[in-house]
A and B are shown apart, each in its own frame.
Chain A
């Protein structure tokens, strides 16, 4: 008997589901009567229990990525944000300051263009670009197989840290495990205080939130306390570092957080 099947009729005998009423089955004939299916939908059908995650394939690849990172003694961080939060500018400043502290690599995920990857070259890090588009438009996130496809282009054993810069988007990237050890997001104060409540899954999925563009605070009608309260509502224990990629404020604290992942 195949696993997880409630009942079958090939031999006309086996039944291990519960009918909430008694009726006799005559197993010698064609079934054209109600079977008491629990969903109330299918009648005259066999139910096969599956209980399999729809992301199982992605998650298996994510586990393989993580194993490869562990074998290379490498820490991988999934860095997410909305478009324009300052992720690449912040990352450029980060790579500059990490030189001599950590050997860093970057997987740069973008729908189109090598603009961001170009901005990150010459800063002492190995950069591998994934463009998710083939033609017009492309995936709005990186998944584990996409990240896996970039690994052969990276000298994993020569690196301490791999930053996986995800596609700018606050929805889908939160759904896909890419095999990283930690997740962080760049949020900028120009996005508004309410964003944690509008994208709770993203804000909940990360270990660290970088609150970026802090240099703009004097010029904005922005309620920083309200943002912190909203963030706490969806992710009570999350670490927060206030940064400005432009002035460099907070970038050292973020570099320290990355270095601490190695200990």
Chain B
């Protein structure tokens, strides 16, 4: 993460790092934020805040085409007993953007 951020910041001061985490990723935001602060302290990225955007899991039913947001990780279409289900959202783990201080 530090490498990705440093590469995009190109030496400029980073105020915050925006991260998107899907519900189907086993990532604990509080732990990630804590680790980020440990990794970056005493580095040029010290003080850069990690802001986490959570994305719920969303599936699309292969049989009826309906999309639905899951509140538990049970992959089942409400309308169809069987059929292929694709996860369309909820798998994300990426850095979306950086907010840099003005020069």
Contacts and interface: CB of A to CB of B under 8 A. Distances in A.
Contacts of A249: none
- Interface centre among A30, A37, A49, by most chain B C-beta atoms within 10 angstroms, is A49
Given A48-B8, A54-B1, A234 B95 contact: no
B98 A48 contact: yes
B100 interface: yes
B99 interface: yes
B100 A44 contact: no
B102 A236 contact: no
Contact of A174 (B4, B10, B19, B26): B26
Nearest to B4: A52
A48 B8 CA distance: 7
A254 B96 CA distance: 42
A51 B17 CA distance: 11
Interface string A26-64: 000011000001010110111111111111110000000
A146 interface: no
A2 B100 CA distance: 14
A179 to B, nearest CB: 18
B59 to A, nearest CB: 11
Q: How large is the interface on A (under 10, 10 to 19, 20 to 34, 35 or more residues)?
A: 35 or more
Contacts of A78: none
A41 B96 contact: no
Interface stretch (A88-96, A196-204, A239-247): A196-204
A179 B9 CA distance: 30
A52 B100 CA distance: 17
Contacts of A174: 26
Contacts, number: 100
**Residue of B10, B12, B15 with most partner-chain A CB within 10 A:** B15
Interface in B11-30: 12, 15-16, 18-19, 24-26
Contacts of B26: 171-172, 174-175, 201
Contacts of A52: 4, 8, 94-95
Contacts of B15: 42, 45
A49 B8 CA distance: 9
Nearest to B53: A39
Given A50-B96, A51-B94, A56 B102 contact: no
A233 interface: yes
Contacts of B18: 39
Interface in A55-99: 55-57
A61 to B, nearest CB: 14
Contacts of B10: 2
A50 B75 contact: no
A197 B102 contact: no
Interface of A: 2, 9-10, 30-31, 37, 39, 41-42, 44-57, 171-172, 174-175, 197, 200-201, 204, 233-237
Given A52-B8, A172-B26, 16 more contacts: A2-B10, A44-B102, A45-B16, A45-B102, A46-B100, A46-B101, A49-B97, A50-B8, A50-B96, A54-B95, A171-B26, A200-B74, A201-B24, A204-B24, A204-B73, A233-B74
